[in-house]
Amino acid sequence: MSFADLPAPLRAALADRGYAEPTPVQAAVLQPEAAGRDLLVSAQTGSGKTVAYGLALATELLGDSSRLAPPGPPLALIVAPTRELALQVKAELTWLYAPAGGRVVSCVGGMDPVAERRQLAQGAHLVVGTPGRLRDHLERGNLAPASLRAVVLDEADEMLDLGFKEELEAILEETPAERRTLMFSATVPRGIAALAKGYQRDALRIEATTQGEQHGDIEYRAALVAPYELERAVVNVLRLEDPRIAMVFCATRATVARLHGNLSERGFSAVALSGELSQAERNRALQNLRDGRARVCVATDVAARGIDLPDLGLVIHAELPRDPETLLHRSGRTGRAGRKGVSVLLVPHTRRALGERLLAAARVKAAWGPAPSAEAIRARDAERLAEQARALAAEEPAEEDLAVARTLLADPALAAQGAEGLAAALVRVLRAPLPAPEELSEITARPPRREAPAPRAAGGQDGGQEGIWFRMDVGRNGNADPRWLLPFLCRRGHVTRQEIGRIRILGRETQFEVAPYAAARFAAAARRAEGEDAHIRVEPMQPVKGPPRRPRR
C-alpha cells in the first residue's frame, strides 16, 4: 500500500512534509480490508499512528470530494490521555488536513474552557481532547455529537491506566451508535479487550508491531550499578552518549526534583516535568528542549506521556519501570520516525533479577554491562574533540580566528609551553564547561542467575564453589552480630545477601566469605568506603579451604 491512492489534498500534505512511504501501521490501516471498519490497532508510540488514523478517517471526512465542506458540527472525535498528546495530535492533524481545508479544535484539561466553547461554536471538522474535558463539553451541550461519524481512542491502555474508563464510556454512549470506532493501544490487556467488545462492531484487529519483534531503531542497554550510585551513573550515561535531547525517567516526583537539582548543579541544562507543574510551565519546559536551551528532561511516567521530540536520542531509566508496558512507553520516546535511539536501564545490582524479568516480559533484548566509567568518558571526549578539530581544520580559517591564534602564539608565557603545551591548555578550556564524569564502583556483570553459585554456598561446606574470605577488625569485642553485619557488608561492599557466605565472629575480628564472582566488586567497593567508618576495616585474606580455625592476628 502506498500513499498514491489517497485523496489529492492528503497526498499534498504528506509530500509537503517529505513523508514518501507509509509506516507499517499506516500501510495496515490503509489496506482495502480495513476500509470503513472499526479497528483495534496495537501500535507502538513513534510508529506514525497519528497520521495512520488521520488517513483512515479520510473517507468519513471527505467522502468522494477532495475538499471539506465549511466547518460545522464535528465529524470526528479523537480522545487522548494527556494534554501534550492531545495538542500534538491536533498539530499533526492540522497539517495533514490543511490542504483539504480542515479545521481542528482541541478541548483539553487545564486550558480555558470558555475559549474552547467559542472555538467549538465556530465549527470544526475534527475535535481532539482529553477524556474529562470532552465529556464536560458534551454534557454542557458545547460539543454536538450528532454529526460524529468516527471516534478514535488514542493510547487507550494509558487512558484506562489513568482511570478514565467512566469518561470513555460516557463519551462513547453519547456519540451516534453507527459511528466508526478506532482504538489504538500499545498493548491490549483485558480492560481494552472489554472496551472493544462493548463499543466496537466486527473490529479488524491490526498488530502493526508483531509480538516479540523489538523496535528496530532502539538499542537497549542494561547497566548494573551500585544502588547508591544511581545518580552518578545517570551523569556518566548522559556524558558518554551526549545526545541532543535526553529523557531521564524517575518513579516519583521527589526523585525527579532531586535528580533535576543534582544534574543542574553539575552543569547539565535540565528541565523537570512532573505532575504539579502548570500547563504554562510544562509548555515552557518543552519549548526549552525543542529550541536547544535545555538538553535533559527529568520526568515521571505520567508527566512524560505522549511527548514527541524527534531529536530525543537517549532514554535513561534512572529508576526501573513498574511494568513491561512502562518500559516500552518510556523507551518509545526515542527512536521515533526512523531515527536511532538508545534506551539505558540502570539496574541496581541487587535488583538484577527484576531487570531481567522486565526486559523478558517486554520481549526486549538488552546488552548487559557496567555503567560507563569516567575513563571511557574521557576517552570519548578526546575522540569527539579530535573529530571536531579535524572537521574544523579542513575549513579555511576565518581571519579573526587567525588573529586570535597569532596573539596566543605570540604570548611569551604560552609560547614557552610549545605547541603541545598550548594545545593541552586549549583542551582544558574546552573541557571546563563539561560536567565532570563520576568515578563509579566497579560492578562486574555476574553470570546469569542460573549459572551463579547456589546462595549461601559461597564456601566449600555444602559442595558449592569456594568463596573468598575477608576479615573485618570488629569481633565480639565490638558487638559483632550477623543481624547488623549482613546488611552492613551488603551496603559497604555493594553485594547482595546471597553473595555473602559464612560469617565467623571471633573475639576481635570477624571473618566472612564472599562469592568468588562478587569478590572483586566487594573489595573495590569496601576500599572506596574506607573513610566512612574508619574504625571498621575490611580486608581480604588468603583464600582458605573451609572455615579458618583460628584468626591470625
The contact set with ligand AMP (CB under 6 A) reads: 19, 21-23, 26, 45-51, 92, 308, 310, 336-337
- Cβ proximity of 208 and 42 under 8 Å: yes
Work out how close the CB of 185 gets to ligand AMP at its nearest, in angstroms, rounded to a whole number. Answer: 13
Question: Hey, is 501 helix, strand or coil?
Answer: strand
Work out how close the CB of 22 gets to ligand AMP at its nearest, in angstroms, rounded to a whole number. Answer: 5
Work out how close the CB of 472 gets to ligand AMP at its nearest, in angstroms, rounded to a whole number. Answer: 55
- Cβ proximity of 351 and 226 under 8 Å: no
Of the pair 338, 397, the CB lying nearest ligand AMP is at 338
Give ∠ CA 429-432-438 in degrees, rounded to 5: 145
Instruction: Dump the DSSP string for 133-201.
Output: HHHHHHHTTSS--TT--EEEETTHHHHHHTT-HHHHHHHHHHS-TTSEEEEEESS--HHHHHHHHHH-S
Work out how close the CB of 252 gets to ligand AMP at its nearest, in angstroms, rounded to a whole number. Answer: 26
Of the pair 16, 375, the CB lying nearest ligand AMP is at 16
Of the pair 29, 233, the CB lying nearest ligand AMP is at 29
Residues forming a β-bridge with 468: 514
Of the pair 21, 387, the CB lying nearest ligand AMP is at 21
- 376, amino acid identity: A
Of the pair 215, 492, the CB lying nearest ligand AMP is at 215
Of the pair 47, 496, the CB lying nearest ligand AMP is at 47
Grid coordinates representing 230 are 544511581
- Cβ proximity of 68 and 101 under 8 Å: yes
Question: Hey, is 331 helix, strand or coil?
Answer: helix
Work out how close the CB of 382 gets to ligand AMP at its nearest, in angstroms, rounded to a whole number. Answer: 35
Grid coordinates representing 486 are 549482613
Work out how close the CB of 91 gets to ligand AMP at its nearest, in angstroms, rounded to a whole number. Answer: 9
- Cβ proximity of 29 and 56 under 8 Å: yes
Of the pair 337, 415, the CB lying nearest ligand AMP is at 337
Work out how close the CB of 52 gets to ligand AMP at its nearest, in angstroms, rounded to a whole number. Answer: 7
Distance CA 79, CA 129 (A): 5
- Cβ proximity of 303 and 274 under 8 Å: yes
